[in-house]
C-alpha cells in the first residue's frame, strides 16, 4: 500500500512537472521562432515544425513518467515488457520526426546512436538509421548559398561542380567539384536556415530533458547537456571548423597511414568549406568487406582489418595526447578507408581543443594508471574537475579500470581479449554498482566529448574484434608517457 501511494503521489507531481516542461518547451521554441525574423511563410513553417517536434517530446516524456504508475499494478515481468514496448514506440517517434525535420534532433540522434552503453537496444536500432538519413537540399538552394558567400556565380571558381551531393548530413552536405586549376575538391555547404532551427530544437530538447531529469540516474547532466549543446552549436561555425581541420591536417601531414584533408582557405567562406578531395570507402563498408573476405578464406583480410582499426585508434590517441585537439564525432560516416588502407578523418565541426595544462594532466593520469598509482590518480582527478558525491575517488578508479584495463594488459605484453556479452556485463557491473553507491556529480567539460569518442570507438572495436598490434599502433604514442618521469 505504501508503494502504491508513493507511485501515485510521484506520478501526480510528475504530471505537473511534465505539463510545466511541455509549456516551457513550446514557449521557448515559439519564442525562438518569433525572434528569428523570418518572413510569414518561414514563420508558419517553423511554428508547425516546433509544434510537431514539441508534441512528440511531450508524448515521450509522458510515457516514461507514467510508466512508474503502471508498474505498481502489474508484475515485474509485465512491467519490463511494457517498458520494452515503450522504448520501441518512443525510439520510432524520435527517429521519424528527426528524419523528417533534421536540425538538432537529427544531430543529437546521431551522437547517441553509437552509445549502446547508455541507451536501450530499441533506441540504438532506430537512431542508427539517422547516420545516413538526412535528406539532400535541393541544388538551387545550395547554389544560392554558394553565390551569396562567394559574391557571384561559382563557375569561375569551380568549372565543374556535381549537383548531386556525395553526402548529406544534419548541418550541411558535401559536393565534389573541380577548381579552375584542375584540382579535385570536396565542397561542404551549410543547409539554409539551419542555425535558427538548431537553436529552436536545442531549447525543446533541453526542456524535455528537464522534465525527465528527476527520473534519471544521479550524474552531472548540467555539464553533459552544456557540452553537447555547445558542440552542436559549434558545428554551425564553418570558419572555426576550417581552422581546426587545418591544425589537425598539419599535425598529421606526412603520416604514412593517417590522412586529414586540408582546407583551402581561398575557397572557404562563412557557410562553405572546401578541402582537398580524398577517395575512400565508409569505414564500416570497408570493414564488412574485409570481414567477409576473411570468412571466405583470405589469409590477409583479418590482418588488414586489424591494421585499419589499429591506425584509427592511433589517430585518436595522437590527437588527444599529442595534438591537444581532436575530432569528437568518429561515427563511421566521418571515417574513410582508402584503397591502400589509409584512414581518413573527415568533418571537424564537432571538435574539442584542450589547453596544454589539461592535456598534461590527462597524460599524467594515464601514466599513473599504467603504474598503478591510485594516490596520484586521485590528485589528478581532482585537478581535472572530477568529483564524486562522497569526495572519494573509488568510483572514478573503477571506471578508469574498466575503460583502460585492456590497454594496460596490452602494455604488459598480455594482448587484448575481446569479451563476450556475459563478460561485458560482468566487467560493467562493478563500475555501475560503484556509481550507484557514490555517483559522479561533476565532470570536466572536455571529458564528456572524450568519453563520447572512445565510447564510440569501443563499440566499433567490440563489433569487429581486431587483433591490435600494440607495438605498432600504441607503443609509439604511449611509450614516452609510460617511461617518462613526472
Task: Give CB contacts under 8 A, 24+ apart, made by 133-140.
Answer: 133/95, 133/98, 133/99, 133/106, 134/102, 134/106, 134/168, 134/169, 134/170, 134/173, 135/99, 135/102, 135/168, 136/164, 136/165, 136/168, 136/173, 137/165, 137/168, 137/173, 137/189, 137/191, 137/192, 139/163
469 is catalytic: no
Note every long-range contact of 160-168, with CB atoms under 8 Å and residues 24 or more positions apart, other chains counting: 161/187, 163/139, 164/136, 165/136, 165/137, 167/333, 168/134, 168/135, 168/136, 168/137
Grid cell listed for 266: 581561398
User: Is pLDDT of 370 > 90?
Assistant: no
What is the DSSP secondary structure assignment for residue 269, as one 8-state letter?
B
In which element (H, E) is residue 335 found? strand 335-337
Digit-coded pLDDT (tens) for 28-87: 555 554 544 444 444 456 666 677 777 777 777 777 777 777 777 778 888 888 888 888
Q: Assign 13 a pLDDT band (cuts: 50, 70, 90).
A: very low
CA distance 20 to 142: 40
Length of the chain: 486
Q: How far apart are CA 179 and CA 161, in angstroms?
A: 9
Residue 2 has pLDDT above 60, yes or no: no
Contact 180, 159 (CB under 8 A): yes
Question: Cell numbers 528524419 correspond to what residue?
Answer: 99
Contact 39, 62 (CB under 8 A): no
B/e letters for 348-364, b = 16+ CB within 10 Å, e = fewer, are bbbbbebeeebbebbbb
Nearest residue to 349 (alpha-carbon basis) of 450, 460, 186, 230: 230
Residue 3 has pLDDT above 50, yes or no: no
Distances (CA, A) of 364 to 115, 222, 361: 27, 27, 5
pTM of the predicted protein model = 0.75
Measure the CA–CA gap between 189 and 388, rounded to whole angstroms: 43
Q: For the residues of 418-485, what is the DSSP string, one character each?
A: ---HHHHHHHHHHHHHHHHHS-EEE--HHHHHHHHHHHHHHHHHHHH-----HHHHTHHHHHHHHHS-
d(CA 236, CA 333): 18
* d(C-alpha 62, C-alpha 84), whole Å: 15
- Mean of the pLDDT values across residues 366-382? 87
- Ordered by start, the domain boundaries in the chain are 2-134, 281-486
247-280 pLDDT, tens digit each = 999 999 999 999 999 999 999 999 999 999 999 9
Measure the CA–CA gap between 75 and 68, rounded to whole angstroms: 12
Closest by CA position to 465, among listed 309, 311, 294: 309
Given the residues 220, 307, 329, 438, the one annotated as active site = 329
Q: In this model, does residue 94 exceed pLDDT 60?
A: yes
Residue 279 CA to residue 364 CA, distance in Å, equals: 38
> Minimum mean pLDDT among 85-99, 148-162, 261-275, 392-406: which range?
392-406
Nearest to 185 by CA among 218, 146, 220: 146
Q: What pLDDT is stored for residue 190 in this prediction?
A: 95
Q: Bigger pLDDT: 13 or 69? A: 69
Q: Calculate the alpha carbon distances from 485 to 191, 314, 479 in Å.
A: 49, 22, 12
Pairwise CA distance, residues 467 & 303, whole Å: 7
How many other β-carbons are positioned within 10 Å of the β-carbon of residue 390? 12
The DSSP letter of residue 138 is P
Mean pLDDT of all residues in 361-378: 87
Percentage of residues in the chain having pLDDT higher than 70: 74
Q: 325, 354 in Cβ contact below 8 A?
A: yes
Bridge partners, residue 353, by sequence: 325
Of 227 and 395, the structure prediction assigns the larger pLDDT to 395
Spatial separation of the C-alpha atoms in residues 426 and 103, rounded to whole Å: 38
Closest alpha carbon to 233 in 189, 186, 200, 275: 200
Strand 325-327 relative to strand 160-161, pairing:
unpaired
How large is the average pLDDT for residues 452-465? 82
Amino acid at each position: 500500500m505504501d508503494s502504491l501511494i508513493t507511485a501515485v503521489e510521484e506520478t501526480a507531481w510528475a504530471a505537473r512537472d511534465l505539463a510545466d516542461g511541455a509549456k516551457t518547451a513550446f514557449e521557448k521554441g515559439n519564442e525562438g521562432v518569433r525572434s528569428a525574423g523570418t518572413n510569414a511563410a518561414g514563420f508558419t513553417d517553423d511554428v508547425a515544425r516546433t509544434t510537431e517536434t514539441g508534441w512528440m517530446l511531450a508524448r515521450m516524456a509522458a510515457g516514461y513518467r507514467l510508466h512508474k504508475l503502471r508498474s505498481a499494478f502489474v508484475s515485474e515481468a509485465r512491467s519490463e515488457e511494457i517498458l520494452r514496448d515503450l522504448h520501441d514506440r518512443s525510439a520510432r517517434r524520435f527517429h521519424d520526426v528527426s528524419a523528417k525535420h533534421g536540425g538538432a534532433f537529427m544531430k543529437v540522434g546521431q551522437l547517441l546512436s553509437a552509445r549502446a552503453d547508455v541507451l536501450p537496444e530499441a533506441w540504438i536500432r532506430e537512431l542508427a538509421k539517422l547516420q545516413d538519413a538526412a535528406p539532400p537540399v535541393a541544388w538551387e538552394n545550395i547554389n544560392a548559398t554558394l553565390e551569396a558567400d562567394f559574391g557571384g556565380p561559382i563557375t569561375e571558381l569551380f568549372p565543374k561542380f556535381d549537383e548531386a551531393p556525395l553526402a548529406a548530413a544534419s548541418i550541411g552536405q558535401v559536393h565534389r567539384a573541380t577548381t579552375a586549376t584542375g584540382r579535385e575538391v570536396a565542397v561542404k555547404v551549410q543547409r539554409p536556415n539551419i542555425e535558427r532551427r538548431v537553436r529552436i530544437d536545442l531549447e525543446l530538447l533541453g526542456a524535455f530533458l528537464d522534465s525527465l531529469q528527476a527520473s534519471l540516474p544521479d550524474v552531472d547532466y548540467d555539464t553533459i547537456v552544456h557540452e553537447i549543446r555547445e558542440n552542436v552549436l559549434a558545428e554551425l561555425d564553418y570558419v572555426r571548423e576550417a581552422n581546426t581541420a587545418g591544425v589537425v591536417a598539419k599535425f598529421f601531414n606526412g603520416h604514412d597511414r593517417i590522412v586529414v584533408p586540408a582546407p583551402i582557405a581561398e575557397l572557404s567562406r562563412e557557410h562553405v568549406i572546401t578541402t582537398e578531395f580524398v577517395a575512400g570507402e565508409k569505414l564500416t563498408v570497408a570493414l564488412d568487406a574485409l570481414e567477409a573476405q576473411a570468412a571466405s578464406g583470405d589469409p590477409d583480410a583479418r590482418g588488414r582489418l586489424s591494421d585499419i582499426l589499429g591506425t584509427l585508434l592511433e589517430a585518436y590517441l595522437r590527437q588527444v595526447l599529442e595534438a591537444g585537439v581532436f575530432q569528437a564525432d568518429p561515427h563511421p560516416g566521418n571515417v574513410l578507408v582508402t584503397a591502400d588502407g589509409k584512414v581518413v578523418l573527415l568533418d571537424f565541426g564537432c571538435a574539442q581543443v584542450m589547453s596544454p595544462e589539461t592535456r598534461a594532466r590527462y597524460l599524467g593520469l594515464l601514466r599513473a594508471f599504467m603504474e598503478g598509482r591510485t594516490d596520484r590518480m586521485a590528485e589528478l582527478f581532482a585537478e581535472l574537475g572530477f568529483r564524486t558525491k562522497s569526495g572519494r575517488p573509488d568510483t572514478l578508479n573503477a571506471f578508469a579500470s574498466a575503460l583502460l584495463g585492456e590497454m594496460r594488459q596490452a602494455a604488459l605484453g598480455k594482448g587484448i581479449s575481446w569479451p563476450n556479452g556475459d563478460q561485458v556485463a560482468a566487467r560493467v557491473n562493478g563500475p555501475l554498482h560503484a556509481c550507484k553507491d557514490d555517483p559522479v556529480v561533476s565532470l570536466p567539460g572536455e571529458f564528456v566529448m572524450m568519453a563520447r569518442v572512445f565510447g564510440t570507438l569501443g563499440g566499433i572495436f567490440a563489433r569487429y574484434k581486431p587483433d591490435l598490434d600494440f607495438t605498432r599502433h600504441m607503443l609509439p604514442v604511449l611509450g614516452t608517457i609510460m617511461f617518462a618521469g613526472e
